[in-house]
Structure 1
Amino acid sequence: MTETTSPLKLVPRIVPRDAHGISRKDISPNALRVLYRLREGGFQGYLVGGAVRDLLIGGHPKDFDVATDATPEQVKSLFRNCRLIGRRFRLAHVVYGREIIEVATFRSNADDGSGDRETVDEGRLSRDNVYGTIEDDAIRRDFTANALYYTVEDFSVRDYVGGFEDVQARVLKLIGDPEARYREDPVRMLRAVRLASKLDFSIDPAAAEPIARLAPLLSGAAPARLFDECLKMFLAGHAEKSFLALEKNGLLPVLFPETAKALITNRSGALRTMVIQALRNTDQRIADEKPVTPAFLFAALLWPAYCRELAVLQKAGTDPLVAQQRAADRVTLHQAERIALPRRFSLPMQEIWLLQPRFTQRVRKRVFRLLAHPRFRAAFDFLELRQSGSPEVADDVVFWREAQLQSPEQLAERLPGKSARGDRGEGEIESDYVEGSVGDAPKKRRRRRRKPPGAGAAPAAGTPE
């Protein structure tokens, strides 16, 4: 067993089996196996964190984490199906097929001088592997609602910091000084927003007050970690609430700086309307157990930034086709400095944007070519989404919806073989962002320039969905 690194002694509130609603039948059988095996090995073992919190409010956790006084090496000696991971936080993963039970050793907030606890950049933790007691572990957790421990010893819940009452009151409270805890790990600000949105909890005023002030600290967080946090916020069924909470707490300009700027300067509010509708649709698809893709999600979240950049380039006289690709590249590159968007998502995202002007075309050859495009369905869904903020695309939506239902012969009869008057060229688009509004008078269209002989089209981005 590990040695205690601090003299901290807290008297827990023990909530007996008949005073809480947690039943073993709602707990993963594999998590129970881990708890019983640790106990048989002479160690303490508790179900901890979000699983206990969610079970108390009648939820159905997907992940079950365990806390123990056994070191990672001792856990590995008990389970042949165990692997050790992490440097910043040393953890044991006990693997049962596709399910992983994460086992963490009780950690302490004390620095024992071993070098296993390091802080950088005004208190941000870069390494935290100093082990301690269950009391130490409870104090170092982020929110009181996440510091509850369920034991198979007597099926009770142990509460060291008042988390049981806070779960009943559906409020998120930080353990310790909020500013110090956010400085330790700025991503906690996003976790507060995400958990409050997911659980329909309120954020305690003391925990909410420093967020807008400390939001710039997120710029020092790892872009890959922020990407993972965004997926949890926007692809778990509470995307709309999370976005509104990001706006309310001053976090949106840090996560999506160019989108936030575009939304502020878009006087009509149409771009924000579209983003909100996209998030609402995402939540509905998840509720209906339909697939969702980060590429489409980020296409919607960054569309305001793309439209703003495109308008700037078009105003400067950049060729329309060049302006579209350049705007897409710039927005993607700038956003990647904050959130690490993998190419398998950023390339399809760009392709969804770049296909939008082609929906204005009615020439037979171009219509059939677009219908056969591997990204057509995603791009058309995006066109329908744009209609929520830009009613002027309604005619295009109707045409392409009907085109998908008609036979090739029927569709060909409707279409001219050559460009009809009013048809826009492949490289031209009416931006959703014109002089800070949507739906303003279109700017003068440039005559499409022919490509020089031998110049090929840009390669298709991403892989077919």
Structure 2
Amino acid sequence: MPLPIGIATIISNATSPFPLRVIPRDQHTLSRKDISANALRVLYRLREAGFGAYLVGGAVRDLLVGGRPKDFDVATDATPEQVRQLFRNCRLIGRRFRLAHVVFGREIIEVATFRANSDDGSGDREMENGMLVRDNVYGTIEDDAVRRDFTCNALYYAIEDFSVRDYVGGFDDVLARRMKLIGDPEQRYREDPVRMLRAVRLAAKLDFDIEPATAAPIPRLAGLLDEAAPARLFEEVLKLFLSGHGVASFEGLERHGLLPALFPESAAALKSNRSGALRRFVIEGVRSTDARVANDEPVSPAFLFAVLLWPAFCRTLIALQRQGVAPEEAQRRAADRVTLHQLNTVALPRRFSLPMQEIWLLQARFASRQRKRVFRTLAHPRFRAAFDFLVLRQTASSDHAADVAFWQEMQGEMGAGQEDDVLLEGGGEEAAPRRRRRRRRSSTAAGE
């Protein structure tokens, strides 16, 4: 039976340390018109079949602060098998967490059954070598709420009366734009160290502050990220920096002592760079990525990592050159060494690490004005990315202004189809292109 609407309803329950708070429709801003039509179909079908059905998590949170969710997740007391029986367009996925995906063309509505932490033996929980490989222990909505990570992610929108159900105090935290962990922060971080990155990422995305008790253990526990799978950290880095809030994410990582845990060599280089030029470069590079995301332009993980690891490359290159290694060899060694060391923390796939290295190695070729080398550089498949990288370097140091101007002119010449008319003088860095007239070949010379 629907709960009465009119004033916020407080109902005590034994499962959660918080009383249930029901926020009626006239006391929140979430509206059905902002919810995916397919998510509404799923909610109504489940309700009609006699199951509880709630929009949950990030979609509720984002809608309450005026955002536009990309995904709409549903929580229910129906089991995955029961959900599949209701929807012909449903498939079940996952081994550790059994989920139902209801597919509407390109949109997928993820439907999760309420889960509990404790297992009375009736659930489907399996351990292998001390690791939890299957965790499908179902419970009540109260159980489901308290096992989530942050209070702002534990809000449930009830389709039967359009209210928001709050079991952990998340509604007030959302209104206050506050990130707060459910439970003891240190214990929750030790359970899953990646939660520290999620705290920074969500705070950056939502423009929330991390509650002091939630933030306090992070610098001390940052080293726990060494225990996280490098492949998982790669995915987290992409979420941090390719979702349109990269600058805020970078500053959050710095502020909470997480940057050395993710990018140890770059963090060390930034700390030792007294002029601040390297940090200005990284910030400008991440800001340009944010702008591309905002304009719906493509973004490249290879370019992103080239920016984030450039301080490490520069520091390593200088160290090798001081050891007497020849410039070109030092560049190759520095690129390989930085990439190899970074793989110990973040699993950077070769399809991204190799283009990243090419972007770095092309930087030295921008000082050349020799004709053949210029045309080879212009024809390189990474030229455009490498040139954009050079432009970013100019934002941190005016030393690269002449190179940027030269290569901009050369691209104009190539674009006009006049590359055969360009004669490049060898020698100094400031050598400029000079035109020559084409000689008309005689009939004899032409072999006519």
Task: Please report the TM-score for the alignment, with normalisation by the length of structure 1.
Answer: 0.85
Q: Which residue of 2 aligns with 1:53?
A: 61
Q: Encode CA deviations 1:195-239: one digit per residue, 9 max, x unaligned.
A: 111111101000000111111111111112111111111011110
> Equivalent residue of 1:100, what SS?
strand
Supply the distance in 1 between the matched residues of 2:183 and 2:134 (Cα, whole angstroms).
19
Shift of 1:11: 4.2
CA drift of 1:129 comes to 2.4
Which residue number corresponds to residue 289 of structure 2? 282
* Partner secondary structure for residue 356 of structure 1: helix
Determine the C-alpha separation between the residues in 2 that align with 1:246 and 1:125: 29
Matched, 1:353 2:360: yes
Superposition pairs of residues 115-126 of structure 1, within 5 angstroms:
116=125
Q: Distance in 1 between matches of 2:373 and 2:334?
A: 23
Q: Which residue of 1 aligns with 2:424?
A: 415
Deviation at 1:119, TM superposition (A): 11
Match for residue 301 of structure 2 among 272, 294, 302: 294
- Equivalent position SS for 1:388: helix
Q: For 1:39-59, what per-residue CA distance to the aligned partner results, in whole angstroms no more than 9, with x for missing partners?
A: 122211110000000001111
Would you say 1:38 and 2:52 are equivalent positions?
Answer: no
Larger gyration radius, structure 1 or structure 2: 2
1:414 deviation in Å? 5.0
Unaligned runs of 5+ in 1: 1-5, 425-465
Q: Note the alpha carbon deviations across 1:388-439, whole angstroms, 9 max, x for none.
A: 22321111011001111124547854512xx324599xxxxxxxxxxxxxxx
RMSD: 2.2
Is the contact made by 1:95 and 1:101 (CA closer than 8 Å) also made in structure 2? yes
Counterparts of 1:47 and 1:239 in 2: how far apart (Å)?
Answer: 28
Q: Tell me, in whole angstroms, the C-alpha distance in 1 between the residues paired with 2:260 and 2:108.
A: 35
Matched residue, 2:81: 73
CA contact 2:367–2:429 (8 Å) conserved in 1: no
1:145 to 141, 148, 152: 152
Matched residues, number:
415
Distance 1:21 1:267 in 2: 48
Corresponding position: 1:96 with 2:96: no
Q: Separation in 2 of the partners of 1:111 and 1:252?
A: 37
Letter in 2 for 1:96: F
Moved more, 310-319 or 41-50: 310-319
The residue that corresponds to 1:362 in the other structure is 369
SS at match of 1:420: coil
Which of 191, 204, 212 pairs up with 1:205? 212
Contact 2:253/2:259 (<8 A) preserved: yes
* Counterpart-to-counterpart distance in 2, 1:422 and 1:362: 7
- 1:227 paired with 2:227, answer no
Deviations 1:365-387 (A, max 9, x none): 11112112221111000000111
Q: Is the 8 A contact 1:84 1:90 kept in 2?
A: yes
2:37 is matched with 29
Please give the alpha-carbon distance, in whole angstroms, between the structure 1 residues aligned to 2:136 and 2:419.
68
Distance 1:218 1:292 in 2: 26
The TM-score normalised by the length of structure 2 is 0.88
Partner of 1:448: none
Partner AA of 1:259 in structure 2: S
Q: CA offsets per residue over residues 279-333 of structure 1, 9 Å max, x none?
A: 1111122222222111111100001111111122222222322222221122112
Contact 1:198 1:238 in 2 (8 A): yes
CA distance, structure 2, for counterparts of residue 411 and residue 167 of structure 1: 63
Which amino acid in 2 is paired with 1:112? D
Asked if 2 retains the 8 angstrom alpha-carbon contact of 1:45 and 1:68, the reply is: yes
Contact 1:125 1:184 in 2 (8 A): no
Measured in 2, the distance between the counterparts of 1:15 and 1:422 equals 68
Contact 1:72 1:90 in 2 (8 A): yes
**Counterpart-to-counterpart distance in 2, 1:18 and 1:125:** 43
SS of equivalent to 1:95: strand
Asked if the contact 2:59–2:71 (Cα under 8 Å) also holds between the matched residues in 1, the reply is yes
Distance 1:21 1:125, change over 3 A: farther
Distance between the aligned counterparts of 1:307 and 1:127, measured in 2?
Answer: 45
- Conserved? CA contact 2:124–2:135, under 8 Å: no
Residue 161 of structure 2 is matched in structure 1 by: 154
Contact 1:403 1:411 in 2 (8 A): no
Tell me the amino acid that sits aligned with residue 245 of structure 2.
Answer: H
8 Å contact from structure 1 (residues 144, 174) kept in 2: yes
Map 1:416-455 onto structure 2 (within 5 A).
416=425, 419-421=426-428
- What is the letter of the counterpart of residue 324 of structure 2? G
Closer, same or farther in 2 for the Cα pair 1:214/1:88, shift >3 Å? farther
Task: Give the aligned partner of residue 372 of structure 1.
Answer: 379
Query: Identity of aligned pairs, percent?
Result: 69
The reply to whether residue 239 of structure 1 matches residue 229 of structure 2 is no
Structure with higher RCO (Cα < 8 A, 6+ apart): 1
Counterpart CA distance in 2 for 1:93 and 1:85 is 7
Q: How far 1:345 moved relative to its partner? A: 1.4
SS in 1 for 2:50: coil
State the one-letter code of the partner of 1:360: A
Conserved? CA contact 1:108–1:131, under 8 Å: yes
Match for residue 412 of structure 2? Answer: 405
Instruction: Check the 8 A contact 2:369/2:428 in 1, yes or no.
Output: no
